[in-house]
Chain A
Amino acid sequence: MRFIPHTEPEVRHMLAAVGVEEIEHLFDSIPADARLSRPLDLPRPLSEQELFARLRELAARNATPESHTCFLGAGAYAHFVPSVVSALASRAEFLTSYTPYQPEISQGTLQAIFEWQTMICGITGLEVSNASLYDGASATAEAVLMAIRLTRRHRVLLAGGLHPHWRDVVRTYLQGLDAEVVELGVGTDGRSEPVDSHLDGEVACVVVQQPAFLGPVQDLAPVAAAAREHGALLVVAVAEALSLGLLRAPGELGADIVCGEAQSFGIPLSFGGPHLGFLAARRRFVRQLPGRLVGETVDARGRRGYVLTLSTREQHIRRERATSNICTNQGLCLLMATIYLSLLGPHGLRTLARDNLARAHYARTRIAATPGVELVHPGPVFNEFAVRTDRPPAEILEEGASRGLLAGLDLEPHAPELGPALLVCTTELASRKEIDRLVNLLGKNRP
């Protein structure tokens, strides 16, 4: 048994010390009829060599950016990750430690979280950030719950353009609570229909995704003004965090809470998780934040150090009156994102965002000039946009797959009103040549 050190003589010695003759007597407090009388029905144990033979077989049956150029985004983005990220994040001291309850021997994790909180504040334009949530969807749900607590109002307005899965998660979190969800649609420009007529003194918050699910950059300023007028909070949800390398910080535009998904900051796709939810807010809301928070302090000799703080919000202290039930969150993913952002710096983040924008612009320009396909929304986008096709998206996706392209997301289940359409994303991993191949695929049936 590779992972368990005990030899038989040691086991005998220990049993004697405990005062028990046989191992099974250690379990005497379990009623005999409650015990399992047979071995578990599991496959036989594999050596590491056999294990990897099996794992490689399974892994080979999934498409990846190595086998297929990925034009699929929709909340999970294929970006290049520098080797330094996993090299540092896989250090045992980060990987095999836990929540930093004992600050004197957890300063590495604590300082990294403090750095993350600082970076997220700068990127979002807000004043306080927590130490991560599970993903962008649950972060949005937590932001909504936070707004309900802060305003003591019970209606939630989900502006058009929020990721359909994130909408689902918000609805899931609110079931059983005294809360009402109002969902708005999108206009022909792919942005939310106006929120004004749905706002009144009962609305706790307006949630706007930026950029919208179908790609367009939303105009936040009028939404912020309308929300403010009615005392509702503005929650801006961000699915592609890289967009914040170019777009104005939502906090500057009036957002009270900015939440979202930071997977783009150095975290692998991993079939959708673990990813990295983030949540930042105005300082006066700090006591209603969900999740862990790290603060600066001093040690007994006056030296700077970091601790988990404001824990009276949390479940292990406050139990049923806690701001959230969250305990374990996405610590290592937060570390990876902090390392990634440290490498990029302000210059790198901006340049990379510009690179993605340039690729989307190139692809859109080519598509606009290709018969048989058209841009659904000609207005400004970041790195993602919807394309209307003249043949079934399923057919295009299948053909693309056979040619090494994941051509995008079939929008039929999410936006049937668009007709046959695909959501396409261009990151720095899509070269000009590959974008050209995509455009040829999309426009194939043309004379």
Chain B
Amino acid sequence: MSRGPEKVGNTTRGIAYEEPLLFERSRPGRRGFALPPLDVPEVEPEALLGAEACRETIPDLPEVSEVDVVRHFTRLSTWNAAVDLGLYPLGSCTMKYNPRQNEAAAALPGFAGAHPLAPASLSQGILQLMAELERHLAEISGLDRVSLQPAAGAQGELAGIMMIRAYHRHRGESRDRVLIPDSAHGTNPASAALNGYRVQTLESGPDGLLHPETVAAAMGPDVAALMITNPNTLGLFETHIEPICEIVHTGGGLVYGDGANLNALLGIARPGDLGIDVMHFNLHKTFSTPHGGGGPGAGPVGVKNILAPYLPVPVVRELAGDEGEGFVLDYDFPHSIGRLHAHHGNVGMMIRAWAYIRSLGAEGLRRCAEMAVLNANYLLSRLRGTYHVPYEGRVMHECVLSDRLLQGTGVTTLDVAKRLIDYGYHPPTIYFPLVVQGAIMIEPTESESLEGLDRFAEAMLAVAEEARTDPERVRAAPTRTRLARLDETRAARRPVLRWQPAGPSKRP
């Protein structure tokens, strides 16, 4: 008996639009834009700038009407899966609901139109909002100070690593090694290396956790820091976090916390209380700002007071005492690592995160963590037995499965992922973390209802059943999408990275 996507799936087959590249819609003379009449004298660019400095043509822009543009991008949009369409259980990405109120908040003209170099006296509203968000994030994380400047989690990591370097240098110490568990996100080693550190990978134990002995054995006078994600990417809380932090601190190192999985801890436990010295927040994960097809995110970085002198500048500061009232941008941090962003970071994302925190309050944030963890554990309880669970134990906000129980069917994790698409789901994160072979990493978030989880579980179970009864069908997936499986090898072997009029990009 095959249930198939027609029975348990999440999709209907409606209209599926074809749409060429916009360049192929171009017709000479079409216009999608009009300027008001020029109210100052016309100029000849060549006369003012010199003919040598001026271009003759602007290639590779289409000539299309506004209708063409609207239809083109609206059609493209229909080819995307999205949180607003349904469960998007991409592990480690916290694809929770993005409240529409936050979009309206950031679009208020008083925010969207604020110039970053306007005098502080004309920017008091946004500076106050930033100062309040810094305070809220400090309270949520148990850290002392927060800089909102990093534009994404990876830039927050870089800021943190640079502050760690500045701290050691200031104390006259030269430490050039950073310890990172094997289950870490790729950005951790990349950020450490980007700042010139040698990376040493630490093995997780058989229980999926980092053990104090492992850290103790790796410690040495050249270790600048340990970077740790908690809960880790297996969805497990690092229960030894406190002794581990103590070992690192005793050895003169600092502990960096990757905040990607903070959603599990909101109001439950605070990284700062556990011994973390510096961490980044992903406003686009924990604090509901939309992922936008790959950003913009925002990666504020929080620190204990010992690292406060090294924060990126400028720092938003509330005036006190004789200084009067209000907020200013403070550059007076002689030990600062410097500036990471042309201005103040992704402020539009800060407005959204502020609106989210103010809407939920303490109780609401804690409820997010509780329901996110409940959802992950509930899904795990429904899938255990059908899918292999490489590390048993109570999971937090996400669970990691593998394709081991499908061995012999010829169906792999990739096939399961692609077949889930036919059932109307964005697949989970796959083949990560690297410590699990054939990993399927599921993070449902708190946004998903019981019946939504049950439907998804049914789809996962149906795919496993198909793997046994009709493996070819699973391996041919997806079959209900506009395009079938795409040839990624070909794309990498013969890279075609832009459209060219008569080039290889001609429509087949």
Specify which chain B residues have a CB less than 8 angstroms from the CB of A138 in the assembled complex. 151, 155, 340-342
Nearest residue (CB) in A for B313 is A168
Q: Do B80 and A105 touch (CB < 8 A)? A: yes
Alpha-carbon gap, A350 to B22, bound state (A): 19
- Determine how close the nearest CB of chain B comes to the CB of A445; give it in whole angstroms: 21
Q: Do A94 and B77 touch (CB < 8 A)? A: yes
For the complex, count residues of A whose C-beta is within 8 A of B: 206
Alpha-carbon gap, A135 to B298, bound state (A): 12
Residues of B34-75 contacting chain A, CB below 8 A: 35-36, 38-43, 45, 48-50, 52-55, 57-64, 66, 69-70, 72-74
Segment from A14-22, A200-208, A224-232, A368-376 that makes contact with B? A14-22
Specify which chain A residues have a CB less than 8 angstroms from the CB of B128 in the assembled complex. 58, 61
Q: Do B355 and A51 touch (CB < 8 A)? A: yes
Specify which chain A residues have a CB less than 8 angstroms from the CB of B153 in the assembled complex. 327-328
Alpha-carbon gap, A65 to B157, bound state (A): 35
Q: Contacts A118-B60, A166-B342, A176-B162: A31 and B21 contacting too (C-beta < 8 A)?
A: no
Alpha-carbon gap, A109 to B97, bound state (A): 19
Per-position contact with A for B90-128: 1 when CB-CB < 8 Å, else 0? 100101111101011111111111111111011111101
Specify which chain B residues have a CB less than 8 angstroms from the CB of A332 in the assembled complex. 290, 292-293, 295-296
Q: Do A63 and B122 touch (CB < 8 A)? A: yes
Task: Tell me if A132 is interfacial: C-beta within 8 Å of chain B.
Answer: yes
Q: Do B118 and A62 touch (CB < 8 A)? A: yes
Q: Contacts A97-B82, A271-B343: A294 and B497 contacting too (C-beta < 8 A)?
A: yes
Alpha-carbon gap, A318 to B22, bound state (A): 34
Alpha-carbon gap, A240 to B105, bound state (A): 27
Specify which chain A residues have a CB less than 8 angstroms from the CB of B57 in the assembled complex. 346
Task: Tell me if A431 is interfacial: C-beta within 8 Å of chain B.
Answer: yes
Q: Do B116 and A105 touch (CB < 8 A)? A: no
Task: Tell me if A302 is interfacial: C-beta within 8 Å of chain B.
Answer: yes
Alpha-carbon gap, A166 to B104, bound state (A): 31
Alpha-carbon gap, A301 to B328, bound state (A): 59
Residues of B335-365 contacting chain A, CB below 8 A: 337-349, 351, 355, 357-365
Segment from A186-194, A352-360, A384-392 that makes contact with B? A352-360
- Determine how close the nearest CB of chain B comes to the CB of A440; give it in whole angstroms: 16
For the complex, count residues of B whose C-beta is within 8 A of A: 208
Q: Do A104 and B486 touch (CB < 8 A)? A: yes
Q: Do B64 and A342 touch (CB < 8 A)? A: yes
Q: Do A36 and B269 touch (CB < 8 A)? A: yes
Task: Tell me if A66 is interfacial: C-beta within 8 Å of chain B.
Answer: yes
A64: contacting residue among B114, B481, B499, CB under 8 A? B114
Per-position contact with B for A268-281: 1 when CB-CB < 8 Å, else 0? 11111111000000
Q: Do B449 and A325 touch (CB < 8 A)? A: no
- Determine how close the nearest CB of chain B comes to the CB of A56; give it in whole angstroms: 7
Alpha-carbon gap, A348 to B64, bound state (A): 11
Q: Do A91 and B484 touch (CB < 8 A)? A: no
Q: Do B290 and A95 touch (CB < 8 A)? A: yes
Residues of A83-132 contacting chain B, CB below 8 A: 84, 86-88, 90-109, 111-112, 114-115, 117-119, 121-123, 127-129, 131-132
Q: Do A114 and B394 touch (CB < 8 A)? A: no
8 extra interface residue pairs, beta carbon distance < 8 Å, beyond A34-B269, A59-B125, A138-B341: A42-B136, A52-B105, A63-B115, A104-B418, A273-B296, A286-B497, A303-B484, A397-B119
Enumerate 29 A-B pairs (CB-CB under 8 Å) in ascending A order.
Answer: A5-B448, A5-B449, A6-B374, A18-B380, A26-B370, A29-B396, A40-B362, A45-B364, A55-B105, A59-B108, A87-B70, A96-B82, A96-B290, A109-B76, A134-B155, A145-B194, A169-B341, A172-B162, A221-B52, A244-B55, A246-B45, A273-B343, A274-B349, A286-B495, A315-B185, A347-B31, A357-B45, A357-B48, A428-B36
Closest 5 CB pairs of A and B: A272-B343, A122-B60, A59-B110, A272-B116, A64-B113
